[in-house]
Amino acid sequence: MSGMDAVVDVSNVCWARDIEPRSSLPQLGRLRRLTDAWRGLYGAETRMELVVDQSLRHKIPAGERHEFDRMCQSGELVNVPYADPVVLSMAGERGLKVVSRDKFIDLRRRYGWIEGAAERFYDWRGESGGLRFVPSGIVPVSGQVVSQAEEKKELIRDGLRDHKDVLGFVWKCVSRCAVSQLWPERILLWPAVDRETGTPLCPDRNCRRPLVNAGARKPSRQIVIARRDNEREIVRFPLEAGDCVEVGRGALTHGINLDGLGDHHREAVAAVSRHHLLLALDDRLVLSARDVGSSHGTELRRWGGRGLGEPRRLAAGEEVRLNRPDQLVLAGAVVLRVSGRRYSPDVVYPDCGDGGGASTAFAEPNR
């Protein structure tokens, strides 16, 4: 084993237009040039693991597919549906260098070691006479940037990019379900989306009827409420510029009722007051919050450069403005923060019956 043993993100290399041959399409021939250059610099015995996305086969020139198949059969190419996590797992387990231009932002949470191992990630530069290798420039990014990248990947993977039109509007349900009674004019939660037709559906699990368009959605921020004990999300909902909503328990008009979001969270939210917190989003999308006289209080944790600061209990009626990474803790039990995500609808998978997913309408563990 050499210190320069590496795993190569093959699709990323094959798409690189600065490696010969010049063409806007991916070329398998670029991979050979890159591995030859690496071994030329770091020794012929250097091991290179080659991981490729299955989908690349259909994008390379037809004349290269035979070679592609041969390399897969011989085990030279590791052919998987989605290469990035395989590349990172191999690199993490075996201490390999990584050759890729990808910054792997969407996988930073899952592979927490990446940011502390920037020196292991290599990009390349085409020069007359060959390639040279340089650091790819992995730098730490905030949780919100990671969330946005994760969300983008998920929207692409789930075919939801095309459903952003659904997310650009507000919706109401005209059946007599719990959701329509709570929010007759405009549902404060994200709609569910029928995966096949793209139809927005009522987020009430017992309803799921098609929704009625209630106008364009104004610029919004997404709010996440999660349990403090196990970080499981209870709910996430969009707030529009100009919105003011109450967070508490029980039937709230124009509010978020933490009691109605699943039995498995009931104990965790029990100490939250019936009328607990008022949230307002102004026209510049700044979120402010005010404890409206809760029994067990609300604490503010400001984000400092290196993490969240010590909690400070808000006085009843005191209004605070939240910077994006700040958090509020309600009754010591529930954390409220602004998400890095803008979209996160529920997705209905038509073939899964009721999905068995008790909480799919509201909370998936993401940030």
Return residues touching Zn ion (CB under 5 A).
Answer: 173, 175, 177, 179-180, 202, 204, 207
Closest among 44, 62, 145 to 103, alpha carbons compared: 145
Residues 6+ away with beta carbon under 8 Å from 252: 182, 246, 275
Nearer residue to Zn ion within complex by CB, 142 or 206 = 206
User: Could you give the count of Cα atoms lying within 13 Å of 304 in the half-sphere of its Cβ?
Assistant: 5
* Helices and strands: H and E segment counts in the chain: 7, 24
215 secondary structure, DSSP code: E
Nearer residue to Zn ion within complex by CB, 137 or 357 = 357
Nearer residue to Zn ion within complex by CB, 203 or 297 = 203
Instruction: Show the DSSP H helices in the chain as ranges.
Output: 10-14, 29-42, 65-73, 83-94, 143-157, 164-167, 178-182
Closest among 186, 235, 247, 178 to 211, alpha carbons compared: 186
In angstroms, the CA 297 to CA 277 distance is 9
First to last CA, the chain: 39
Nearer residue to Zn ion within complex by CB, 173 or 287 = 173
What secondary structure does DSSP assign to 105-119, as a single string?
GGGTTTSTTGGGGGG
Taking the complex as a whole, the smallest distance from the CB of residue 238 to Zn ion amounts, in Å, to: 17
Nearer residue to Zn ion within complex by CB, 49 or 204 = 204
Nearer residue to Zn ion within complex by CB, 175 or 199 = 175
Taking the complex as a whole, the smallest distance from the CB of residue 251 to Zn ion amounts, in Å, to: 16
Taking the complex as a whole, the smallest distance from the CB of residue 207 to Zn ion amounts, in Å, to: 3
Taking the complex as a whole, the smallest distance from the CB of residue 78 to Zn ion amounts, in Å, to: 46
Taking the complex as a whole, the smallest distance from the CB of residue 21 to Zn ion amounts, in Å, to: 56
Nearer residue to Zn ion within complex by CB, 178 or 244 = 178
Taking the complex as a whole, the smallest distance from the CB of residue 212 to Zn ion amounts, in Å, to: 10
In angstroms, the CA 170 to CA 42 distance is 57
Residue 21 CB neighbour total at 10 angstroms: 11
Taking the complex as a whole, the smallest distance from the CB of residue 125 to Zn ion amounts, in Å, to: 57
